[in-house]
């Protein structure tokens, strides 16, 4: 007698259910083959700059006239501005931006979720991708990284606050 005999429909249902559950358990237990690498941020955060200057209109030339309270060397030289800390579901995200002559030359994640191995794994690929997108776009209008939605949104918000503080 065959195990899936048509005279015993309950047995077929039970075997199909058990096979489905076993398949789902194996799929959910699947681990990645590579060990996650950890992206480290800067050790000492720079104080957030105040947004007391009016935003520059068309600041592509880098000839901004005023530096009121921003950290850095001068209005036309290199300056570094730290964005607001954005609280996400998985932890705080904060970005530091380096601007030279009105162009974004560097973006560093000062804070990001890294409490557990899964956070470290996600952010090890998300943070560099967000950085390269911000440098390419020269703005906070960047795409969200798939699988790192909360970090991406926090990164964008902190980046926008830093650019607002810098007058860009």
Percentage helix, strand, coil for the chain under 3-state DSSP, each rounded to 5: 35, 15, 50
Structural domain boundaries in the chain: 1-30, 78-166
User: What's residue 53's pLDDT?
Assistant: 36
Going through the chain in order, the beta strands assigned E by DSSP cover 78-82, 86-88, 91-100, 103-111
Mean pLDDT, range 32-46, rounded to an integer = 46
Q: Tell me the pLDDT band of 52, cut-offs 50, 70 and 90.
A: very low
CATH 3.90.1010.20 is right for the domain spanning 78-166? yes
List Cα–Cα distances, 110 to 63, 90, 156, in angstroms.
28, 15, 13
**Shortest CA distance to 153 belongs to which of 97, 104, 113, 99?**
113
User: What's residue 28's pLDDT?
Assistant: 80
Q: What is the pLDDT of residues 63-108, one digit of tens each?
A: 333 333 334 444 567 888 888 888 888 888 999 999 888 888 889 8
- Sign of the torsion formed by the C-alpha atoms of 157, 159, 164 and 165: positive
| pLDDT surpassing 50 at residue 43 | no
Mean pLDDT, range 21-31, rounded to an integer = 83
Contacts for 4 with CB less than 8 Å, ≥ 6 apart: 11, 12, 15
Mean pLDDT, range 109-131, rounded to an integer = 88
Which range has the worst mean pLDDT, 5-9, 44-48, 83-87?
A: 44-48
| pLDDT surpassing 70 at residue 136 | yes
Residue 8 CA to residue 6 CA, distance in Å, equals 5
Mean pLDDT, range 136-147, rounded to an integer = 86
Q: Which residue has the higher pLDDT, 126 or 1?
A: 126
User: What's residue 143's pLDDT?
Assistant: 85
User: What's residue 67's pLDDT?
Assistant: 34
**DSSP code at position 60:** T
């Amino acid at each position: 007698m065959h195990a899936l005999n048509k005279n015993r429909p309950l047995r077929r249902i039970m075997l199909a259910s058990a096979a489905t559950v076993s398949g789902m358990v194996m799929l959910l237990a699947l681990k990645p083959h590579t060990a996650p690498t950890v992206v480290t941020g800067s050790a000492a955060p720079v104080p957030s700059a105040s947004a007391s200057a009016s935003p520059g209109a068309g600041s592509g030339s880098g000839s901004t006239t005023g530096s009121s309270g921003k950290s850095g060397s001068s209005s036309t030289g290199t300056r570094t501005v730290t964005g607001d800390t954005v609280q996400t579901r998985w932890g705080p995200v904060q970005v530091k931006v380096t601007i030279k002559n009105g162009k974004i030359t560097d973006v560093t994640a000062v804070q990001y979720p890294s409490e557990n191995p899964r956070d470290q794994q996600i952010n090890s690929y998300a943070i560099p991708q967000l950085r390269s997108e911000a440098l390419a776009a020269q703005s906070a209008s960047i795409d969200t990284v798939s699988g790192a939605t909360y970090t991406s949104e926090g990164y964008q918000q902190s980046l926008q606050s830093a650019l607002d503080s810098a007058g860009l």
